[in-house]
Structure 1
């Protein structure tokens, strides 16, 4: 395996030339590929896919390097080539006109792009909400339960533990509750729990439950 750190300078030159070309064409790119000519072996190609149209050289270099961090080169590199098969219309964003939510949305888009480049698209998964009262089944992929609008009832934690954990000795005080959740009788995985907002031994706020009429507390989530 060969590191790509030493390729930063030639990559920067190539991407600067691409950026100047794109500016001259009033265009941008959403995808391009970098081919590494290796000393001993066939060429190795890396596809760089972007989530939006870009043409700024520094941005293209940052995202390309993030993609290459996940690549293992099979040998010393003798030459580099860069090919953009398709140009796209480019509409620059007027940053000075953005404020409030618009600016936050732009910052999130940039962060999303960097994370996808560094970790791969499969590493990021959106929340998929379900109209389901059982907390562990309310979200297919995400952090916390969103069975219903938080304004319609008691608050929900932002983080669920992978599975409820017994926590009898860690609860200091009950702050709110109970909230009865009884659901799932139709599919054989029914639950009957009384949920409480509780203060944890270290001061954190926890979401805990017990079965009605029985002793024993279970931790199910944390409030931020």
Structure 2
């Protein structure tokens, strides 16, 4: 194996800030806004440097533009770079926040020698607008250190080994205190560490120096491969302009059939598909994006064709359509969902047939009524029992899940009744409610206008059944549930 490491020092800024290459001074600061972590050429000419405080930078250059670093944006940028690199190497591995491993030994016969590959990658990423430093080595970690510290590839393996031995120990991922301890022991370069037994150093210093073994090849380390997400893209330009919705159904239905075949071959399903319509006068009528939504995810051609028909019937065309495209997965807001694998059987189980008919019915209802008018019961996380279930659209996926709340080994009642005040006219009536468990205190709802303070009890009624009661802060008694 032979590895290239690509270091993109300005990845976040060059991906999200078009003015980073302009003559305006631009600095990128940490998320708390205190320290400068990246600058452009104009800011460097103005005397600004990385690692200085943002206040100092603004004082030195009042015209500087300050941008806060976003980890999410940087992740998307690195993902974009990794997907582009898959065209040049079968083994690509992102190294957050701004690096990338590429295995190129297996591609040498197709791509030429390593120098030609490096020159091509420099040109390729320059066209994408990225500054890149590339180093090569037979060991992935060694290539990483060379690219990040020297910014260039050594001419040969022996030259690279000499460079590695002379690099300071500060290039390792160690704390400042550990670096100081190594300096006190006279260990100032990677060559000093490589001359000693790493296991003994780990034992004496209480820190892991395995990275030294990975760099010099005493132990093997391979980066985790990156796989591009599944995505579907289909487009069709029409020979004749289409002015009516019904006429759009036939050409787009070919894309729907291709999409469903794509899903079935990969054991995937989808709940949403993006349809883009492009019109004759592009400047006057921009492209329109439509969402084809199912009530439940599936890969049935019949369901998707029916939803396409209903979506087109509700769409008004401002101008003749000249092209259409379908998109799902990848960077689009239409997730592809793996289908649950089932054991192969000769006949489909009756429950599967019922489930298929139910899904077909729900999809037809969603098409007729609209997906936001078809509501399903969902659980939400709220300590108040009466607020733990809601009705919501299937398209809006809740990120919260509500587990069964345990009350000291007992679950809450299966039958939750409306909150009903209990009025006791005498002590005899009160004594009939015998407490068998409690209290369990709930003091919640402070974030809205319906806060509550309750002490819950499980009480046995005269007939022997169990009910769920609580007392509020005014010591008034209420019932809220019955146990089966």
**TM-score, normalized by length of structure 1?**
0.48
Quick check: which one's strand share is greater? 1
> With CA pairs under 8 Å and 6+ residues apart, which has the higher RCO, 1 or 2?
1
Report the structure number with the largest CA radius of gyration.
2
**TM-score, normalized by length of structure 2?**
0.24
Quick check: which one's helix share is greater? 2
